[in-house]
Copies of this chain bind each other. A is one copy, B any other.
């Protein structure tokens, strides 16, 4: 018997870093990031908890690796498009990847230090601006302005709790909002697709994202055209 993986003994697929990371992504996808513990992940892989530590140094490194898996799903850059189309498509592709893995947003935000995969994405975006005629300084600020939007997400701030079921309670809540926060009520339904909805309801996230993205791209283009430099 060669000392390789025992064929014929259908025990377990050998553990590998890749298999650990993919199982982590699957677990987080299915049960949320709070359900992802080293112990539960090990159980899912039919392995003792400490076995995971052969492939990742600790939980932080597990999360880093899982983020890389998600970022790996972003489409490659468009070839031969103008800077604006290229940037826009790249960011919207990142958004699609992140929407498939909702747990990834808070995890990306909490990372300190960038992995090679993260740096690849940033380098690629920066290259698009530079090729489009943006100066190094302007590109620097423009990348800061994008911030986490380069990953296709932003922090929404409208309360997301669904309104109470009971019509009487809902009426009472309505009264209270009308009295203390009239302006919120006033704009609540505005911009919603289905009319008569309550705060934060029926609001089209994709529309809001593209609205802001385009607002920023417009701003960038304007600064580029006027050869913006920081006033000193």
Contact = CB atoms under 8 A, between A and B. Distances in A.
A113 interface: yes
Contacts of A158: 114, 143-144
Interface of A is mostly: helix
Interface of A: 106, 109-110, 112-114, 116, 118-120, 122-124, 126-127, 130, 135-137, 139-141, 143-148, 150-151, 154-161, 177, 180-184, 186-188, 190-191, 203, 207-208, 211-212, 215-216, 218-220, 223, 230
Contact of A145 (B113, B212, B230): B212
A219 B145 CA distance: 13
B230 A191 contact: yes
Contacts of A215: 145, 216, 219-220, 223
A157 B108 CA distance: 9
Contact of A212 (B144, B148, B159): B144
Contacts of A223: 215
Which of A118, A124, A137, A219 gathers most chain B CB within 10 Å? A219
A193 to B, nearest CB: 10
Contact of A155 (B127, B148, B191, B216): B148
Given A106-B109, A137-B190, A143-B157, 17 more contacts: A106-B110, A112-B159, A112-B161, A113-B160, A118-B159, A122-B181, A122-B184, A123-B184, A126-B183, A126-B186, A130-B186, A144-B156, A144-B203, A144-B208, A145-B208, A147-B212, A191-B230
Nearest to A127: B183
Contacts of A190: 135-137, 139-140
A180 B112 contact: no
Nearest to A185: B123
Contacts of A181: 119-120, 122-123
B184 A144 contact: no
11 contacts: A109-B155, A113-B160, A114-B158, A119-B159, A119-B177, A135-B190, A136-B186, A140-B188, A140-B190, A141-B208, A147-B156
